[in-house]
Amino acid sequence: MMHRTILGSTLPILLFVAPFLRGADQDLLQRNPMPLSLKRAVELAVSPEGNTNIQLEDEMVRQAKGRSAEARSALLPNVGAYVSQTSIVRSLAALGSDSVKLPFNFRLPNVAGPFDVTDVRAVASQSVFDFSAIRRWQSARTAVRASQS
């Protein structure tokens, strides 16, 4: 009874997998080996395109250089700029121009404008001495040299 249950459950799996196994064997038999000389094998092993370890090391050097540049940025000045231009219309009546009494029955206009306002601002800051930032930059430079060796 137990034997029928095992056979009953494995038979559909075998019927499903068998065509894939047969096809894989035929593909392996049809492939021919690639000719590779010793010189070409050494070139592939030493070149960055053929050796993943060399590619990983190059990537580690690039990452270390990026970290060094980021640490150095803390020592550089911070510069910012802001520019805006606005066209404004002001209601003088809302500001109380109706309550002003002028001679000769002269009246101020209720609206002033439109007129343009341009605002340009620049900000620069620099830390005078930050010992921890200097040490972080020195450490990052040492890490670049270590990753290059």
149 residues of the chain, pLDDT tens digit each: 445 555 556 666 766 666 666 655 555 556 777 788 888 888 877 777 777 888 888 899 999 999 999 999 999 999 999 999 999 998 888 877 777 777 887 777 788 888 899 999 999 999 889 999 999 999 999 999 998 88
E strand segments, the chain: 78-91, 111-125
What does the block give as tokens for 121?
């601002």
Q: How far is CA 31 from CA 24, 27, 38, 44, in A?
A: 11, 6, 21, 22
Look at residue 45 in the predicted model and tell me its pLDDT: 77
Q: Each residue of 71-85: b (16+ CB within 10 Å) or e?
A: beeeeeeeeeeeeee
pTM, full prediction: 0.48
Ordered DSSP codes for 8-31: HHHHHHHHHHHHHHHHHHHHHHHP
Report how far Cα 34 is from the mean position of its chain's Cα atoms: 40
Residue type, 121: R
